[in-house]
Structure 1
Amino acid sequence: MNRTILTLLAVVLLFNCSTAQKVTDTQTIDKTSVKASMIKALEWQEAHPIFAIAPTDWTAGAYYTGVARAHKTTRDMMYMAALKNQGYWNNWETYKRLHHADDVAISYSYLYIDANGGRKNFVDLESTKKFLDAHLYEDDNWKAGTDKSKEGKTILWWWCDALFMAPPVLNLYAKHTNQPKYLDEMHKFYMETYNQLYDEEEQLFARDMRFVWQGNDKDTKEPNGKKVFWSRGNGWVIAGLALILDDMPEDYEHRPFYEKLYKEMAKKMLEIQPEDGLWRTSLLSPESYDHGEVSGSGFHTFALAWGINNGLVDKKHTSAVKKAWNAIANCQHEDGRVGWVQNIGAFPEPASADSWQNFGTGAFLMAGSEILKLK
C-alpha cells in the first residue's frame, strides 16, 4: 500500500487527535490528575501485556524505562512492584541478539531496580554484562561494514532508534559499576551514528540511510518537498539524550557534545510543534497525516520537560511543554489505555484513537514523570 493511499485512509478513517481532545486550558497542570492518569496507564498496560518478539524485547524495554522514570519521580511503589515483577519473571535476561541495540533496552530497568530497589543481590546483572561486552567488543558484520543493505547497516547502531536502546544502558551501567570504559565505548559508537544520520541543516536524525537525502532520490522526500523525518525516530533520540545526560558525569570530556546536540534538537522540536501541542508522525510534512501521535510526542515532551527542569531549555517554553502534555493526556482512554500511538514501524504512518503499544505507554509515563517536576 503506497503512501498516497495511506493518506486517504487516514483522512477517511481517522479524526484529528486534538479535535477529539477538546483541550480548553493548555497552561494548567493538575499534578494530582497527572499522577492518577499515570497510575491508570500503568494498571491498564500491566493488565494487557504486549510485545513484538518476547517479554525482554525493545518494546518492553521502552515501556519499563517509562515505569522506572515514573518511580524515580513519584516513589510510588506500584511502579517498583511492576519493575521487580517483570525482572524476576524475565530472570534478568536480555533478548538474544547480542549485536542488536534493541535487545539490551530492557536492562535499563534492571539497572534502575538494582540501584533503587532496596534489596541487595535481588537483581542479577550477569546477562546485561554479557550482552554489553559482546555488543561492544565482539566482531560482527555491521561493525565490520560488510553488510551493504539499503538501510546502511555498516555501523553498529545504523538506525536512529538505537540511540535510545543501548546508549542510556551503557551510560547507566558505567555509572552503576564505576567502569568508565563503557561510557567511552558508548561515545565511540554514538559518534558513528551521529555522523551517518544527523542532518545538521535540519537538526534532526534520518531514521536510517534510506532517508538520507542523496541529492537525486525523490523517494527520500515528502510530497511537499521536505526531507522525511520520523517523529518517533527523533523522539527516541532526544529522549535518549535526556536519559544519557541525566546519568553522565558532569565532568565527562564528551558531555559538551551531548548537551549541544540536545539543545539543537530541543530548539527544533519547539520550532515545529503544531499549534495543538502534538507532533505529527512526519515532522516536516505534518499535512501527510494531520493528526497528533502520542509515542513521538511523549518522548519529545519528556525530553523538553527534562531540559527545563535541568536548565538546558529556557523556562519560557514551559507553556509549550504543558500544552503538549495536556494534549497527550487527552489521548488517554477512560480505562487508562493510551491511544493515538503509531504502530511498530520505521517511518511516518498514521495512528488512530484505538491504536496502542506498550512503548507508547512508556513514552506517556516518561513525559508525566518530568511534567510533575515543572514549576
Structure 2
Amino acid sequence: MNKSLITLLAVFTLFNCSVAQKNIEKDSVSIDKTQIKASMINALEWQEAHPIIAIAPTDWTNGAYYTGVARAHKTTKDMMYMAALKNQGYWNNWNTFKRAHHADDVAISYSYLYVDMTDGRKNFVDLEPTKNFLDAHLFEDDNWKAGTDKSKYGRTILWWWCDALFMAPPVLNLYAKHTKETKYLDEMHKYYMETYNQLYDEEEQLFARDMRFVWQGNDKDTKEPNGKKVFWSRGNGWVIAGLALILDDMPEDYKHRPFYEKLYKEMAEKILEIQPEDGLWRTSLLSPESYNHGEVSGSGFHTFALAWGINNGLVDKKHKPAVLKAWKAIAACQHEDGRVGWVQNIGAFPEPASVDSWQNFGTGAFLLAGSEVLKLE
C-alpha cells in the first residue's frame, strides 16, 4: 500500500466519527486522563490561535467557549486556561454585549465571575458592566417581558428560546452566589419557569427550541419526516448543560432546587435513552436518520451534563460506559492540530455538520465534556 493511500485512510478513520466509533467496545470503561488533558489543551491552543467572532468578542459564542475554558481550569488548575480567561476579559474591558434584554449577551460574564472568584486579586475584574446588565435584564420593562412583542418565535417571554437557559441562568446563579444576593436567584427562577412552561415537552422530556417547534395539533411543519416532533440536539444540550452549571453553584437548601434536580434527571434519562450506538447524538434527537452522523457541540454538552450527574450523584454510575463512549466519540472528531470538527454551524434547528465544520462554542462544549469526564472514577 503506497504512502498516500495510507494517509488517506488514516484521515478518514480519524475524522469520520461514526465509523471510528465502531471500534470502541460498548462496555469500555478505560480512561486515559493524561490524554484527555492533552486533547483539551490542544483544543484551547488551536481555538485561541483561530478566534472567530459571530457578532462581537463579547457575544454568546465566546460566552459559551469561555465557560468551557473556565470549567476546564476549575478541574485541571492548568494556568493556560486562566491566562486565556484573563486575557479575553481584559481586552473586553469586562463588558457584556449590548442587548440588555437578550440572554445571549450576558453569557460572557460567566467567565468574568469565575476569574473574580478564583484569581484572588481585588479590583482586577470589573463586574460593574455585568451588574448593570443583569439589573436591566431583570428589573427594567421590556416589550418581550410585557408580552406585547409577539411573533412566530414566541417572543412573549424574556427567554423565549431554549438556548437562553444556558446563556443567562448560570450567570445569574453564579452572580447570586458571589454577591450573596438571593434576589437574582429568585428572578432567575421566575423567568426560567416561563420558558419551561412554554417549551418543555413533558411527554418527550425534551425542550422545543422555540414556539415554532411546539406541536400545535395539526401543524405538520413541526414534525420530522418520520413523524416525530422536532427536538434539536444542541438546543437540548444548551439546556441540560445549563442545568448542570446551575446545580453546581446553587445552594443545597435553595427552595426551588428540587425543581432543577427533577428536570435535570428527566432530561438525563431521555438523553441516555436515545444515545446512538456509536456514542454521538445526531442533530435531530428523535429523527437520527435525518442526518445520520454524529455532531459534537450537542454531544459535548450532553456528555458534560451526564458526567457531571454521575460525579454528583444524580445519574447512576452504571451509565459511566455510555458517557465514556460519548467522550471517546467526541475525541475522535478532533483534528491532529487541535481543531474540533463535526460541529453544526450557528442555527436554531437540526442541520448537518461536517468533518471541517467548527465553531468556538463547539470547542467550549469539548472542554466542558473533558472537564467532567476527567473526574469520573
Match of 2:17, as an amino acid? C
Shift of 1:27: 2.8
Contiguous gaps of at least 5 residues in structure 1: 1-14
- Residue 58 of structure 2 contacts residue 105 of structure 2 at CA under 8 Å; is this kept in 1? yes
Aligned counterparts, 1:324-339, within 5 A: 324-339=326-341
Separation (CA, whole Å) in 2 of partners of 1:81 and 1:118: 14
Aligned counterparts, 1:123-272, within 5 A: 123-272=125-274
Shift of 1:20: 4.4
Q: Deviations over 1:183-218 (max 9, x none)?
A: 000000000000000000000000000000000100
Match of 1:263, as an amino acid? K
3-state SS of 1:354 partner: coil
- Residue 23 of structure 1 contacts residue 326 of structure 1 at CA under 8 Å; is this kept in 2? no
- Residue 16 of structure 1 contacts residue 290 of structure 1 at CA under 8 Å; is this kept in 2? no
Match of 1:222, as an amino acid? E
In the alignment, does 2:311 pair up with 1:306? Answer: no
Separation (CA, whole Å) in 1 of partners of 2:39 and 2:67: 17
Match of 1:171, as an amino acid? N
Shift of 1:23: 3.9
Separation (CA, whole Å) in 1 of partners of 2:119 and 2:338: 26
In the alignment, does 2:112 pair up with 1:95? Answer: no
- Residue 24 of structure 2 contacts residue 325 of structure 2 at CA under 8 Å; is this kept in 1? no
Separation (CA, whole Å) in 1 of partners of 2:121 and 2:87: 14
The match for 2:10 is: none
Shift of 1:21: 5.1
Report the aligned-residue RMSD.
Answer: 0.9
Separation (CA, whole Å) in 2 of partners of 1:177 and 1:121: 15
Separation (CA, whole Å) in 2 of partners of 1:151 and 1:28: 44
Match of 1:18, as an amino acid? S
The match for 1:19 is: 19
Moved more, 358-367 or 117-126: 117-126
Q: How many residues align?
A: 361
Q: Deviations over 1:344-373 (max 9, x none)?
A: 000000000000000000000000000000
Aligned counterparts, 1:110-125, within 5 A: 110-125=112-127
The match for 1:3 is: none
Within the candidate set 310, 320, 344, 2:322 is matched to 320
Separation (CA, whole Å) in 2 of partners of 1:255 and 1:22: 39
- Residue 302 of structure 1 contacts residue 369 of structure 1 at CA under 8 Å; is this kept in 2? yes
Separation (CA, whole Å) in 2 of partners of 1:27 and 1:253: 37
3-state SS of 2:267 partner: helix
Q: Deviations over 1:116-152 (max 9, x none)?
A: 0121110000000000000001111110101111001
Aligned counterparts, 1:39-54, within 5 A: 39-54=41-56
Aligned counterparts, 1:272-311, within 5 A: 272-311=274-313
Q: Deviations over 1:87-127 (max 9, x none)?
A: 00000000000000000000000000000012111000000
The match for 2:375 is: 373
Deviation beyond 6 Å, 4+ runs, structure 1: none
The TM-score with structure 2 as length reference comes to 0.95
Separation (CA, whole Å) in 2 of partners of 1:16 and 1:212: 33
- Residue 23 of structure 1 contacts residue 330 of structure 1 at CA under 8 Å; is this kept in 2? no
The match for 2:9 is: none
Q: Deviations over 1:289-339 (max 9, x none)?
A: 000000000000000000000000000000000000000000000000000
- Residue 304 of structure 1 contacts residue 321 of structure 1 at CA under 8 Å; is this kept in 2? yes
Identity of aligned residues (%): 88
The match for 2:38 is: 36
Shift of 1:29: 1.3
Separation (CA, whole Å) in 2 of partners of 1:23 and 1:100: 44
Separation (CA, whole Å) in 2 of partners of 1:21 and 1:141: 48
Separation (CA, whole Å) in 2 of partners of 1:63 and 1:326: 20
Separation (CA, whole Å) in 2 of partners of 1:85 and 1:374: 30
Shift of 1:16: 5.0
Match of 2:279, as an amino acid? G
- Residue 242 of structure 1 contacts residue 306 of structure 1 at CA under 8 Å; is this kept in 2? yes
Contiguous gaps of at least 5 residues in structure 2: 1-14
